[in-house]
Structure 1
């Protein structure tokens, strides 16, 4: 079950996403004080006991309903004897309720194809608890069970002493996974974020002492006080009529009662402070350096209730867009002051908002990054933004809304349901995308520059200000002092700062179109079938295969590949370029650098990213149908006019050093890297982790020349497009921008080398870290001839063993929070199999749980899996595939991989038949064949 930790950092541009949901448009212009409308797509009601419900009929995906139970109760309501029990209560709802005794709930849901963790989930935060349940809607019995489960979660947890004690170990293991540098540093400054507030003392995970020792009545009291209908909402969105869903809610929740003499659900706030607070924390295991500035509001979070409130949010959104466009430009400069930086106005914790500026930098660059953030805020305060910046921001804002509007009837239920959850919990607006888009079209032209510029005056103030610096503690590194921070704050306020200069860029990416080639052959593949595609062969030999879908109105996805990649580099060339290849793409195309490209593409939805992999090179991208031509233009220019820009490459190397500089201090990452080196001992082509020396020696000139070599022959490329494709436009653009590319008759294939990673029995023990945390990885690998049926059985084996590991290691032993297994058989670059088991745990349990994992595997090898477990896995696979078939990304992957792996695309049509054909004997056979010749046992332990 996932958890929501304190949301100290909100998502960038969060304000843009507040109302991205369907609704009916309203043509009349409302008064500013008018209350915001609520989309007519949702039915909102309230039962006599106070429980609120939200219902919407939505047919995508078919035969599925997304259910949520939202409760206005989180860790902030805990008494001192209940620390961590709001979250513990969430666990208990999966471990013994009125209708599902211990472990029966997960077992039942797995039996109908609902996966624990992937589908079935929950989270607890300071202020709320939310339970997540997708359920089939085409089977009345399963639907009834789904609502029965929700009813149990709402107030029917048994909370027996035995069940509580059994779950302590699981929750303590989850607590253990959170230990590390970030948690240690956060514990020292959280009281400054939540100044004189209860929030600083109520982290949802709780304290180890209380988790180990709390009395049974403490959690029962939490349930009795706060799991009550007048603090709850049931949200149901999916492929079922509203009347049926409403009746299910009434039947299952009307009988819930509120406690007598119920406790008041208090709100908790942070106090203001006149002085600037500074927190400077460092830790030996911190992987990176960060700088944060908070200008906390004097009052509490303001609700968005009226038309004026909503328009104010739009103005703030434009401000965020423009300030972040400026900060993004810094990250692309030579010797950038930070890897990335951004600013926005939003919630910091509880009911407190703040204007926040944030940057991630190198370990010696904190003061410089802080200086840039302060100066950019001050620059806006003194001079404001430019009209050209505002115009671009408006275009981007509207383009995002237009895309949501165009796809208003294509949204999946799980993308709709959270809006109603947040409306209940936080009173977030839900006017609907039609109203929102129409409102933005009308209001954006009226928003003046002075409105946006005036915001900074309210945002910046000396009181209620907080600066937090975090980073690694290491020999030779001087820690920034509080006085240095205070001095810098004062210095910037009085500094001589010049106005921002917004340099103009050309209006078109390709003013002059290339000489067109032609389509020399057109074929329809698998005509009339579900997997029907069309292919063009172009005059230069390049191929274009596409599938037209109606899954999204405003989406076209693209991939392309040509065999070869770095496998065609010599050993020396590979070593010299391995740290440089990605940096090649930091340069612009045809004289348009990354900052200029951001301006040129304002108001457009288009992206193209070239890559050079181990066995192939190619492109990935996406575009709105109206911006498809620009996608093709970008492809053409990446072939023919990728700039050579040493300064852009230097910026890339600088950011890589900053990002990777202290990453080895993280025990888990260091363990993974060391294990990879161990498995690849003797591999002449293994380049390993890019340390500072490797980055300094990265050969940009050679990497650029090899790039030109890999992309010199367009005739060796195959392009794939899936989405809302216009046949005629695709053909025209293919002839204009791809058929015109240089080519030759040469066709390449990747090289396969002799080296193979370690196989058989080996042990790898690694000591790193100070917290009592371990990690176990057990892996089997080797060569084999690819077989589709064996590949399906190996995949099923991984899923089956994952079920058994959760049952054994988590539910029976209480020794892990999560555990999993994964198996695959691959064709590229050579036939191989891989099977792995992994989990985190306490150091004292590592060996025991590793042995228990192997014992579960050996049981399958000896006896085979049970029919019940195999049936669970099959149902989950089939349910997942049913939804995949309605996704553009799935089809793009399948169509491209059929060619890349030289396999049959008809396997999509036969998927259900192939999965149903898997038997327990098949699974036992692949386990016997591949998993009986030893394994690599790798264990991470803390330093002694």
Structure 2
């Protein structure tokens, strides 16, 4: 059940006059129809679109027919068992078992499973996947459903996962290396600090000792029988659910589940599936953890519940959850407002009531990401805002805005109820099985909210926090960087902050009134001078009197979505080198000031109840805007767009708020070895560019010139005549044209017809190497890059992309499955035409320092095989099948068409080429792929190696 309660909210109910009382009575009658006469005790219904059942062996199933996307079904095998159930000799084996299900089952021997799925277009990692946590293991399998054989094989795969894993000694030993590489990959500052503070959050609990990745000692040395025992104990029908949602008849899906899973015998004398409590504690537990490689500073305050969580079962309980959700939105609106102050106490702040690491313990949690030297200030502000809400509650204006927001978002979800993708539906059923979350469906939820919102009183919301805050069962966690010159916060200082906030005189929140309309005065509107129609693509383009071009495509992919982009050539390429460097990183803060005299906070309040997003940008070669809205709110999107052309505020305080947040976020990022390596490689390949700015630092943020950035923004958006606008979605063509004439046609067109400048600089090419030593953990990374100038050719570009996908398959087979030396590896290739012809091909993987040379050599050897002999027809068939599946899904999405239409104009390509994309993929041959490998990948490469410090 997606309650929409963490981001949304409700409205204050004022005292009712006689006519309003009659309306309320009418609404109450409507509510009875929805909820039943015994409203409080009525059970939350189950969505009638889902069929639930239980087999005689105890296995639960959920089935739903859903036609989006077409010819595809999402399968899940959910096991209600995870690392919390491991014995001492099994630490990490719940996760290890997940790996083993991809390494040999009764019907799919070693590598056959992944090989088969790739042959039908299902990618390992991107599509086929799984995860293990403390309390569950979930297997994810999307499968094409247009072929009965593929559907049957899909169910055979998840059946094999459930009870047919082979678990041979040899394959267990082979997989140790892969899992140890995943263990290595997870090491770092965050993991080290987590290990130290988790025992305080999960006080007295087994959760503090059962991180799913396990321990190196156990992973290296566990007995085979330890893994087999885990599989026997916990992979059993009464702890499993099968979920099937997709474009297949429900009766067929149910028959598949019964035939494949009904034959699994029920467990005899099953081991109890215990739950594990987190002990309560009287004192406030404080953890202050630092690390030299920590990238960010964070503050967490947890007020843990004294009892165990209870899932909503009745309408009354669901109503209570709505009230809690309203509180969550309103407290976070206040934190967002503080974030926008000139000297913000944190980069980001958020509060919510919800789960912890343990199913058996929930908590009210306040969180902030902050500058390393502002942790105590951020802690004080989080505590103060909670106290302010407790003492004075919220105001009617806050409540009103929250109601508008929740109504708008629920309405959007309701309108798109028949256009929701299957992979967004299955999660609700997973949670229902594992945690008992209700799943009444969006139609019931929407009607419930409509009927119940008017009955909720502001006082009910104001009472919520009184049940959250307490001095007992409280945990405070501070994590951040450790470096020279920085004084570590002490436990005494944290306790003093707690005392100071308790004794501080806190005043009520002041909710300032805001205007109700974005703009009032408009110049005379323009008109359409030309209309052209692309009948093949069902795309219309109009030209306005001021020269602006608007292209739109009406679709039925979503009922309540319109996506938007605009661009004009020029961008920062038209700045001089001196101007570019003087502006520095200031451009990113321009939109933080708001428009038309309204601050960012004011705009947020004014737009309550409206789903509108517009964001301007100035890129290297163009300037433009992007956004999204609903048909109902399209006018506000046009109004915002008009104002970004004419009325962007200049506000030094808002800009300084942006700078201070960026500095707080970026200050210690390069302490992270991976970020540091990326930055060093960026300097190595691009450092000779006279316009190279490098990684933003506190000093470079301070040195950036806001006034010049604002001046250049005004210059870039001064002429609408060379702007191209794109709209894709459920557009009403007449309405869209009317708004375009009114809000875009009224802008000034100067016919400047600007283009862009292309620098003579080109990134590093040829044979070079760079070794970067950073970090204390024994982990390395390898990056191999081939790049240089090229003349763009569509067929070669397709072949280069395919080469990357094929080599990724071979790298996984060689480096992971055969060598056991990596957790993941990949290759990616592209050829582009804009702003100049350029090819790029990269190979990358993390590994142990001792394996760098061996695995680098092995990776290049796999590439050389393709150069010498070409790829196998089997591998070519795999990637073509995957590309065709992705294409068929993409062309049913608004996001695809928006990007495609815009980029066709931006890169001056034939817009009709999409019509023969399938043909181009089908015609791709092994020789085409071998030829691009020979042509582009035999001229030397740039080698980057990241090693730990010696």
TM-score normalised according to structure 2 size: 0.96
Using the TM superposition, give the Cα deviation of residue 511 of structure 1 relative to its aligned residue in structure 2, in angstroms: 2.8
Q: 1:144-165: per-residue Cα shift (whole Å, max 9, x none)? A: 1000001000011000000000
Distance 1:166 1:15, change over 3 A: farther
Provide the residue aligned with 2:28 in structure 1.
Answer: none
Q: 1:84-123: per-residue Cα shift (whole Å, max 9, x none)? A: 0000000000000000001110000000000001110100
Mapped partners of 2:885, 2:750: distance in 1: 45
Using the TM superposition, give the Cα deviation of residue 848 of structure 1 relative to its aligned residue in structure 2, in angstroms: 1.1
Provide the residue aligned with 1:595 in structure 2.
Answer: 601
Mapped partners of 1:30, 1:507: distance in 2: 41
- 2:595 alignment partner, SS class: coil
Matching of residue 537 in structure 1 with residue 543 in structure 2 = yes
Give the counterpart of 1:364 among 348, 365, 373: 373
Matching of residue 70 in structure 1 with residue 78 in structure 2 = yes
Give the counterpart of 1:752 among 748, 752, 758: 758
Mapped partners of 1:604, 1:301: distance in 2: 34
Mapped partners of 2:3, 2:656: distance in 1: 29
Mapped partners of 2:37, 2:876: distance in 1: 59
Q: 1:867-921: per-residue Cα shift (whole Å, max 9, x none)? A: 0001000000000111101100000000111100100121211011000111000
Mapped partners of 2:753, 2:35: distance in 1: 59
Using the TM superposition, give the Cα deviation of residue 510 of structure 1 relative to its aligned residue in structure 2, in angstroms: 1.5
Give the counterpart of 1:234 among 242, 248, 272: 242
Mapped partners of 1:30, 1:70: distance in 2: 35
Kindly indicate whether the alpha-carbon contact (under 8 Å) linking 1:224 and 1:259 is maintained by their aligned counterparts in 2: no
Give the counterpart of 1:43 among 34, 44, 51: 51
Provide the residue aligned with 1:134 in structure 2.
Answer: 142
Kindly indicate whether the alpha-carbon contact (under 8 Å) linking 1:606 and 1:627 is maintained by their aligned counterparts in 2: yes
The 5 Å alignment of 1:292-691 reads 292-350=300-358, 351-525=360-534, 527=535, 529=536, 531-691=537-697
- 2:369 alignment partner, SS class: strand
Mapped partners of 2:912, 2:453: distance in 1: 49
Provide the residue aligned with 1:174 in structure 2.
Answer: 182
Q: 1:669-700: per-residue Cα shift (whole Å, max 9, x none)? A: 00001111011132111111111221111100
Give the counterpart of 1:60 among 42, 46, 68: 68
Give the counterpart of 1:741 among 741, 747, 750: 747
Q: 1:782-818: per-residue Cα shift (whole Å, max 9, x none)? A: 0011100000000000000000000000000000000
Q: 1:15-57: per-residue Cα shift (whole Å, max 9, x none)? A: 869xxxxxxx947455111111001000000100000000001
Mapped partners of 1:436, 1:680: distance in 2: 53
Matching of residue 874 in structure 1 with residue 880 in structure 2 = yes
Mapped partners of 1:36, 1:497: distance in 2: 41
Distance 1:485 1:589, change over 3 A: same
- 1:845 alignment partner, SS class: helix
Mapped partners of 1:118, 1:897: distance in 2: 25
The 5 Å alignment of 1:141-290 reads 141-290=149-298
Using the TM superposition, give the Cα deviation of residue 11 of structure 1 relative to its aligned residue in structure 2, in angstroms: 13
The 5 Å alignment of 1:67-106 reads 67-106=75-114
Provide the alpha-carbon RMSD of the alignment.
Answer: 1.3
Mapped partners of 1:752, 1:597: distance in 2: 37
Q: 1:387-419: per-residue Cα shift (whole Å, max 9, x none)? A: 110111111112111110000000111111111
Using the TM superposition, give the Cα deviation of residue 759 of structure 1 relative to its aligned residue in structure 2, in angstroms: 0.6
Q: 1:277-312: per-residue Cα shift (whole Å, max 9, x none)? A: 000000000001100100000001111111011101
User: Which blocks of at least 5 consecutive residues in structure 1 are unaligned?
Assistant: 1-9, 18-24
Mapped partners of 2:126, 2:728: distance in 1: 26
Mapped partners of 1:266, 1:681: distance in 2: 58
Q: 1:722-760: per-residue Cα shift (whole Å, max 9, x none)? A: 000000110000000001111211111111111111111
Using the TM superposition, give the Cα deviation of residue 188 of structure 1 relative to its aligned residue in structure 2, in angstroms: 0.3
Task: State the aligned residue count.
Answer: 925
Kindly indicate whether the alpha-carbon contact (under 8 Å) linking 1:610 and 1:620 is maintained by their aligned counterparts in 2: yes
User: Which blocks of at least 5 consecutive residues in structure 2 are unaligned?
Assistant: 10-32
Provide the residue aligned with 1:799 in structure 2.
Answer: 805
Using the TM superposition, give the Cα deviation of residue 13 of structure 1 relative to its aligned residue in structure 2, in angstroms: 5.6
Kindly indicate whether the alpha-carbon contact (under 8 Å) linking 2:36 and 2:42 is maintained by their aligned counterparts in 1: no
Larger deviation: 857-866 or 514-523?
514-523
Mapped partners of 1:667, 1:680: distance in 2: 20
Kindly indicate whether the alpha-carbon contact (under 8 Å) linking 2:4 and 2:406 is maintained by their aligned counterparts in 1: no
Matching of residue 930 in structure 1 with residue 936 in structure 2 = yes
Provide the residue aligned with 2:27 in structure 1.
Answer: none
Larger deviation: 481-490 or 716-725?
481-490
The 5 Å alignment of 1:763-912 reads 763-912=769-918
- 2:372 alignment partner, SS class: coil
- 1:365 alignment partner, SS class: helix
Distance 1:647 1:252, change over 3 A: same
Mapped partners of 2:249, 2:34: distance in 1: 25
Mapped partners of 1:366, 1:536: distance in 2: 54
Mapped partners of 1:822, 1:799: distance in 2: 7
Mapped partners of 1:502, 1:430: distance in 2: 36
Mapped partners of 1:15, 1:544: distance in 2: 33
Kindly indicate whether the alpha-carbon contact (under 8 Å) linking 1:341 and 1:357 is maintained by their aligned counterparts in 2: yes
Q: 1:532-552: per-residue Cα shift (whole Å, max 9, x none)? A: 200110010000000000000
Kindly indicate whether the alpha-carbon contact (under 8 Å) linking 2:4 and 2:410 is maintained by their aligned counterparts in 1: no
- 1:585 alignment partner, SS class: helix
